[in-house]
Amino acid sequence: MFTITPPDELIAKLREDYYKLTGKWVNPSDVESFLIDLIAYNRTQLEGKINYYRKQNFLRYASGEALDLLGEWLGVIRLPPQPAKTTVRFTFEVPHPQIVINENIKLIAKDGKTIFKPVETVIVPADIQTFDVVYQCETAGTMGNGFVAGEINQPVSPVSYVLKA
């Protein structure tokens, strides 16, 4: 169903068609031979593009806008990019007073450019040694994906009483 004519077969067919029209066989050094090769090359590329766009009509092969359009037929829409989320465990000095973790306490990932912030403001009770907080990437999409435990642990600015994140 989705095939491309092998270039060798296409060149042979074009040479044969040229012979039927002109009564002359094309030699490899003839200008016509170059033109036949050029036509075969362009036709092979065109068949490849046609196959690609035909496949876009099938869910298995569809991508980008074609995938969105296929989904519309079923009333399905693509979800917008979401920020990556993770749980960060803070370890505190003991004793310590009640601590507020808000959007000002950001963490930078090991790559040095991906920044995470708390999803909501959290109050850490006094004298607790560890506390978990849900953080999310400031950038929606895949930028915040792929980090493993311990790679999102550097505060952007120093935080009092925090030994490590």
pLDDT at 3: 77
How far, in Å, CA of 129 to CA of 41, rounded?
Answer: 70
Task: Say if residue 41's pLDDT is above 90.
Answer: yes
**Cα 136 to chain center, whole Å?**
19
pLDDT digits (tens, 9 = 90+) for 44-101: 999 999 999 999 999 999 999 999 999 999 899 989 999 999 999 999 999 999 999 9
> Looking at residues 137-159, what average pLDDT do you find?
93
pLDDT at 2: 72
Task: Say if residue 1's pLDDT is above 70.
Answer: no
pLDDT at 163: 92
Tell me which of 3 and 116 has the higher pLDDT.
116
Q: Count of CB atoms within 10 A of residue 90's CB?
A: 24
**CB distance 147 to 86 below 8 Å:** yes
Q: What is the largest CA-CA distance in the chain?
A: 100
pLDDT digits (tens, 9 = 90+) for 115-145: 999 999 999 999 999 999 999 999 999 999 9
